[in-house]
Amino acid sequence: MRFPVVLHTDDGIRYGVTVPDLPGCFSAGGSFDDALDSVCEAIDLHLEGIAEEGGELPLPRYIAEHQVNPDFAGGVWAIVEVDTARFDGRAEKINITLPRRLLVKIDSYVKSHHLSRSAFLAVAAQREMQSQNERA
């Protein structure tokens, strides 16, 4: 899963990192790269806690949705990828049927975004269900 993060610095050397989609998930590092490395670990631990409590893993939103928040003004945005498979339970293989043109579009999209079909379809399904729940 790809999470947007925002980094702030007071001295241009050390960075603090906030994960907007995971309230309470913060990290820091002695350099920009160190901060990105440490936030991946923080996200992993945060998600582990949610999973252990039986909660639903939150889906990341787009950076543009977070940029309007004044708390993140002046920050530098980045995307970090965290493998959430261990929190989702055992994978199951399924057989689905899709129109060929749709499958071609999906394959083109996943290739350009360095995803697998399965990952894309899982996230799309999660986003749709989350959207439906928010409307209800």
CATH assignment at residue 107:
1.10.1220.10
Pair 104, 131 in one domain: yes
Residues 64 and 127 reside in one and the same domain: no
Residue in the block written with tokens 């989609």: 21
Residues 69 and 132 in one domain: no
pTM for this entry: 0.68
Are residue 76 and residue 37 in the same domain, yes or no?
A: yes
- Which 3 state secondary structure label does DSSP give 49? helix
pLDDT of amino acid 90? 66
- Containing domain of residue 85, as a range? 1-89
DSSP 72: G
My answer on whether 96 and 136 are in the same domain is yes
Mean pLDDT to the nearest integer, 87-113: 88
Percent of the chain whose predicted confidence (pLDDT) is above 90: 63
Could you tell me if 65 and 5 lie in one domain? yes
**Number of structural domains the chain divides into:** 2
